[in-house]
Structures are given as C-alpha cells and as structure tokens.
Amino acid sequence: MKNQYDSERDFKIKAFYNPANMLDYSSFSSSELYVDYFNQKDKVYRQQKGSEKQGFGVKTNSYQKLKNDKALWGSASYQNLKTKRIKYNENLDFDRVAPYISSDTVGGDLEIEKYQFLGGYAQKFNKVTLGAQASYNAQLGSRARDPRINNTTSELNLKVGINYAFYKKFDVSLFAEGERYLQNSKIRFASKIGQPLVYQMTGLGLYNNLFSGGTSSLETIHEEFGYKIGGEINHNKGKDFYILAQIGQSSMLKSYRGSTNRYYDLADLEKDYLELEGVKFFQINNHRVGIKLNYLSNKIKGKEYGYTNNTQLLEQIYKRLSYKRDETLTSFSLFYSLNKEKVSFSVIPYYRLNEIKEQRINPYSGQKFEYSIVGLIMDYKQQLSNNQIITFRPFFDIKSVSSSKNILATNSLPSINNWINQDYNYLASEIKTIGASLRYDFKLEKIPAVYIEAGVSQAKIQSKNNNFSTILVGITF
C-alpha cells in the first residue's frame, strides 16, 4: 500500500512525465481495477459547464517491473456521465476550444461517454534508458432534444524520451511529444418552428455575425496539432532533487459548414506553453521533507478570418489577431511524511499565485483576475491488522480574489450580456473548498485485495454550497 499509493510520488509526479524516467516509478509491480460513481451538484456555476454532473465509470491501470532494466505500464477507462443545464455552449472540452465555441440561449442536458487507453515501455541499456508512450482519448456527446447535438472528440498523443546517467548518481533526460486533437460538432433541429439562434462565439460575449443565426443543420470542426519538448536533471533518481523545464506550442483551427457542403475557416487558436519545476528532498531519520517550486505559463492568441458576401460566393478577405489570453501560475509547496511499520502520514501545504488576463481586439473588451490560493492535503494510513488498512485523506483549499477588473463590450442581445456578466461574477468570487475521503482495504484468502472508498467535498461560493460525493469499489493486485 505504501508503495502503490506513495504520496511522495504524487508530489513529484512531473518527474515521470518523460517515459524514460518511468523505469524509476516504482520498485514493485502493481495493478488496480475499480468502478466508481460520483454526483456533483452546483448552485453557483459557469453556465457553459453545467450545474450538475453524475455518472459512473470503470478504470484499470498497471505498472509492471519486468526486470531491473525493463518496465511496462498502461491504463484503460470508460466513463458514462450526464451533465445538466448546460447553456451557451454546444461543444465538448470547453476549456480547450474556448472562446471559439458554438452557443445558443436554450441549451439542455448532455449525455457523454468517455474512453481512454494508454500504454508505455522503458528499457535500460547500460547508462542509457529509452522510453515511449502512446495514449488515445475519445468522447461521444449527444442531446435528444432541440438543439440536438452529436459531438465526437479524439486525441492521439505520442511521447518518446531518453535518460542518460552521466556522473555518479546524476542523470539527464530529454523528451519530445506530439499530439493531434479533433472535435466534430453537429447541431440540428427536429422542430421547424421556434428554433433558437446558434452563435459562433469569438470571446467575451461577441460573435461572428456572418456565420451565426438560425439553421436546420450546421457542423463545426476543431482540429489541433501540437508538440512539447522538455529536459530534466535528477539526482539519485529524483529522490534527492530534480529540475525540469518543458515548452510547447499548438495550433487549433475551427471550421464551419452550414447548409452548403463548403467549409469556411473561422478562427485559429495559437497556444504557447512553458513550465519550470524544481524539487528538493531531505531525509531526517524517519522524517521526509520536500520543497517544490513550479511556474506555469499559458499564452493564447486567437486569429479570426473575415469574409465578404458582396459576391456570389463568400470570399476570405483577411485574417487578423483578435483575441488574447495570458495565464500564469506560480506555486510553492511543502511536503512532509513520516513512515513507520504500521503507520504512514504525509501533509502537503501549498500556496499559489494565479493571474489571468483575457481581452478582445476590435471592439476592445477585456477582464483580468488575480488569485491567491492556499491549501493543504493530508494522507494518513493505519494498518489495523495483517490484512486490513484504513486511509483517511482530508483537504481544504481557499481561493481568494486579489484583484478583478473588466471592461466588457455590449451587444444587442440582453441574454448574452447577462450571461457574460454572470460569468464574470463567478470568476470574481472567492471559493472555499473542504473535503475528505475514507478508504478501507482488506485481504481475504485466494482473492485479490479489495477496497471501498467514499469521498465528499463542499465548495462555498457566493454564500452558497456546491457539493460533490463519490464512492469507489476496487481491487489491487
């Protein structure tokens, strides 16, 4: 249990982002299979993401230490969930494709199925370790009432890495990653009367006038290609310290097809990614202490295409920068653990500074937020007998708003103006979250170890409570 659910490994999980470093992920082989059910009810929420989520899933993952110089790992999962009362968003993966989403003022519940597969392999050759990993994720989203939605997403990720032990306990590693993402979104109406308008949003409540409006059927496609490269320096396989850096870029193109069979390019999202992290550990008898610094930067630029309809066919006449979003997150975390024969305890306090700046150009519209986040995560394991273990994990998180400013352009649609103002009020609100999970593991003869876990959390925002609960049943082997 201590090895399979090591809190220190979770603290330094970025050290294993390079598949070549997965050879040092664990000293033992382990596998897990579980089913879970969760329910989330929000009284205060972003309308684009819905007010309630409930669903169930099944997941398995495994890490196999074949020999000291080989490791194999993988995972697979299926999830079926229902998201209720989504509005102003007819796309999946909102945070990924925003602000270029399709919206209407009616919305509704959305049924979603998710599939995930991952596999990786690492092998050591003298002082060199090579690793590779491939993963595939897919989603199916649908709605049985107008506006009727049929959304599919697919994401393919390939990653390769190399690690070289160059001096005593020091090693250096490099990795490269490529990714392709595709989302197909179709909207149609069974009813011929009272159809709501579908808007092609361009950010902060503004939309593309030419390609928005009522239609019996429309289709949009988001296609993204991206890459990351990174490097890392470790000492003693990351048990003493490590430093990592990674950068990445991607470009996502949104295309539109209405009543004709012709596709029109509407917008292009260009993303730049930078992450730096350093971790240092100290061992004092049975006490383990760690310090982590992390800096993350995401910069997004949106370029939109303009067309003229003064001719028989629509013709593209420009492509210009019209949207920018910059986000930085600076984190400072501490780690403490105490390991004894029948008891293990860890605590992770953290402090984060988060700044988000979002703006549109022509017409100008923008908003800026600065957050301070303080939190703490605890993990306590107690062996009750030779075949029973109990785990308790309480946590809390306080997100304070240091600054919030906005200059929002208005349009002729009061409903969209109200939505954008409600969205700003949500983003400018303090959130206090507290929760805990309790897990019970027991081992019977001739069958794998079984566990039952239950978790609850409550987030207070604008004097109202958003509640989450989950229950898991699984086996470990």
pLDDT tens, the chain, 477 aa long: 888 999 999 999 999 999 999 999 998 999 999 999 999 999 999 999 999 999 999 999 999 999 889 999 999 999 999 999 999 999 999 999 999 999 998 999 999 999 999 999 999 999 999 999 999 999 999 998 989 999 999 999 999 999 999 988 999 999 999 999 999 999 998 887 777 889 999 999 999 999 987 666 789 999 999 999 999 999 999 999 999 999 999 999 999 997 777 899 999 999 999 999 999 999 998 899 999 999 999 999 999 999 987 767 788 999 999 999 999 999 999 999 999 989 999 999 999 999 999 999 988 999 999 999 999 999 999 999 999 999 999 999 999 999 999 999 888 789 999 999 999 999 999 999 999 999 999 998 888 999 999 999 999 999 999 999 999 999 999
pTM of the model: 0.94
DSSP 425: H
Burial profile 432-445: b = 16 or more Cβ within 10 angstroms, e = fewer: ebebebebebeeee
DSSP 22-65: GGGS-SS-EEEEEEEEEEEE-SS--TTT-SEEEEEEEEEEEEEE
Rounded CA-CA distance 444/451 in Å is 11
* Phi/psi of residue 68, nearest 5 degrees: -65, -20
Give 107's contacts (C-beta < 8 A, 6+ positions apart): 47, 85, 86, 87, 88, 89, 90
In the Cβ-directed half-sphere of 135, how many Cα atoms lie within 13 Å?
Answer: 20
Confidence (pLDDT) at 214 = 67
- Distances 398 to 62, 328, 350, 375, 461 between C-alpha atoms, Å: 34, 18, 11, 6, 11
- Both tokens of 477, joined, read 């082997």
